[in-house]
Amino acid sequence: MDSERETYPGPSDSTTTGRSGAVGKAVETAGGLAMDAFEKTREKVAEYRDKGFEQVSQEVAEYTRSQPVPALLIAAGVGMVIGMLLGLGRR
């Protein structure tokens, strides 16, 4: 049994440790980015809640006029997500 352990590299192998370290850093970076996005979204929702519907709809209209392509892509993405969720509910 001891000879088998020597022929098969385990978790202490340098290439495995290097890869897991890189994966760990990537996961940590992605987690940090996700937390930042979550915090920004939470702040925006609180801001919109305080401003009221009229102000929010005005800002959305202004954004759509100034940035029509990104606004269209966002709307298409939201529509696809809602459609997929509704499609899953029918199954």
Distance between CA atoms of residues 63 and 57, nearest Å: 10
What pLDDT is attached to residue 47? 81
Stated length of the chain: 91
* Tens digit of each residue's pLDDT (9 = 90 or more) over 38-85: 888 888 888 878 888 788 889 889 999 999 999 999 999 999 999 999
Does residue 13 carry a pLDDT above 70? no
User: Taking the mean position of all CA atoms in its chain, how far away is CA 8?
Assistant: 37
Section 4-33 average pLDDT: 65
User: 90 vs 50, 76, 79, 80, 87, CA distance in Å?
Assistant: 36, 21, 17, 16, 5
Nearby residues of 17 by Cβ (< 8 Å), 6 or more positions away: 11
Does residue 12 carry a pLDDT above 70? no
